[in-house]
Structure 1
Amino acid sequence: MSTDWLMGTWRLVRADEPLDFAPGVRMEFLPGGVLRYHVDVGGVDQTIDLLYRVEGEVLHTENPAAPHAMSVRLSHGEGDSLLFDFGGPRALLVREVRGAGTAAS
């Protein structure tokens, strides 16, 4: 599976109850296997830099600063959505698009 579609920033829309996603979570997939996990903590954007790789339809992440790794089935859904399936519980994210007034770099 090509992962070109995965590049960019994705914002959590909803997650099933058993999943531990905080409201406002964003995931920024960058080239070179870097994933910036953004979470709002008291109005401040906190980021955690993770490493990721995709094998088939499975996203593997690990935190080099802590002994934590995770694997989840992913798919590119309708309307440019990102679906995570944790073996039952699911999470839905949508691509975050910069506003028309944002300057391109």
Structure 2
Amino acid sequence: NSEGDAIHRADQARSAYGQGGGGIDLGIISDGVDNRASAQASGDLPADGAGLTVLSNALGGDEGTAMLEIVHDLAPDAGLFFHDAGTNIIAFQTAIDNLVA
């Protein structure tokens, strides 16, 4: 778990309200999730298709993996969706549109 989980007391909120994000889908836009397999193997991220959906990872990089890990710590039962940011404003808007769809 990330330090942010304790700092934001998300662990206490999940316990008090019995809610871990189930039924909620969260979208992340960043550079890439190239090393997500390592995070999945360690249990820091759910498997592709079993809680994590990668819509596009064309840019490459790994900031998105770290962002997904933090969000997953805070809302472990939420569905996670990732899309790379693209290389221009139109591609970024496409990422937003694809995540909303």
TM-score bucket (shorter structure)? under 0.3
The higher-RCO structure (CA 8 Å, 6+ apart) is: 2
Normalized per residue, the structure richer in strand is 1
Instruction: Report the TM-score, using the length of structure 1 for normalisation.
Output: 0.20
TM-score (norm 2): 0.21
